[in-house]
Structure 1
Amino acid sequence: MKLSSALKALSERLEHEFRDPSLLIRALTHGSHGGEADNQRLEFLGDRVLGLVIAEALLEADPRADEGRIAPRFNTLVRRETCAEVARQVDLGAGLKLGRSEMLGGGRRKEAVLADAMEAVIAAVYLDAGLDAARRMILRLWAGRIAAAPEDARDAKSALQEWAQARGMTPPDYVLVSREGPDHAPRFVIEARLSTGEVERAEAATKRVAEHAAAAALLGRLEG
């Protein structure tokens, strides 16, 4: 089986030449495509390979760090948003095999679709050439993010909740103010609210990101 010119270009961006090209094709096949195996099983495997490699990298980078310091950084590096960012970095969306409705709905830009495909590609490299090959690719693509992951990488929502609880307050509320835009490119406006009346809002392409941004804004004001 030969790769198309687009997939050959993607393979070059990944810096991995597939001995079994069908693995890359399957990794890029979304469930909406139909008629052939999709990438769900590969995504499941790739998630575990990514977790192992990132955990190893963090332990090696900071031999004295305990689990409490490493776990938040780990979660930041393997979460869906980060996987989707890496997928965009290598233009993974250009190689996706989507059904017509998913393609028309902007599937090549959807965070969940990109994140799942990125994990599936990791599994494809692992199955094609082993753990060392997968590790090399992950460490290259995630290198800047691993180096930049803050020592205190608690997500903003957790940090804000801890701030409130330390002062005897109820946990913050997150309220959807508005949702605009088409399904493939929505914009959510979320408010983070404390029981004492403090409020900050943020806008993002997903509710989760907007909630975290609002929490970060509110926490920054409270601690500023």
Structure 2
Amino acid sequence: MADNYVIEMLHITKEFPGIKANDDITLQLRKGEIHALLGENGAGKSTLMSVLFGLYQPEQGTIRKNGQEVKINNPNDANALGIGMVHQHFKLVECFTVLDNIILGVEDTKHGFLQKDEARKKVMALSEKYGLKVDPDALVSDISVGMQQRVEILKMLYRDNEILIFDEPTAVLTPQEIDELMDIMRGFKAEGKSILFITHKLNEIMAVSDRCSVLRKGRYIGTVDSRTPRKRNCPR
């Protein structure tokens, strides 16, 4: 049976002055899997994901979603295709509230008036469903780094994204917050969402991912099955 790829990045090349950050990379994401992207600093992981999210345009290569070629010119195009991204350095407005950050750019209006009550209900429902407890009225400048990450995740869920990119998501978290994030990612997988997970920590790859692709110096090295009997038997 053919693999059910929700995203295919085929022969992607991205260059910057003096450096080829991605050199003919092919990456394929199956529907409903957690796919880790492993490599040292400078391997091209974040650049490749930024291409998928529309922050960069590749010099060569194509992107397919569900077998159909797509053009992603910017993050709005990515969101329209159901692709969301939590960046390593969060993209939040610190003087705005949690709620305002989540709905920023996709505000619902009626007769010219912002429908914040409906937005609040949706945010709180998502917060409860996924165990992402937040205070919608808190200023982002007043909340912890771990809480800011929850806001970024809720931004993706609010936009109904089904393909979720996490760029080094555990780098700023406490051990307890890391465990909570792993559980959240497993919950997303159980719902059929597809996850690309950038990391350089082997223990996290073994704990949560289904497959792992390795990049080195901007080139694709290979993909391996990262599931183990120990991981399959661990509690969800």
| TM-score normalised by the chain length of structure 2 | 0.22
Judging by fraction of residues, say which structure has more helix.
Answer: 1
| TM-score normalised by the chain length of structure 1 | 0.22
| Bigger Rg, which one | 1
Judging by fraction of residues, say which structure has more strand.
Answer: 2
The answer to which structure, 1 or 2, has the higher relative contact order (CA under 8 A, 6+ apart) is: 2
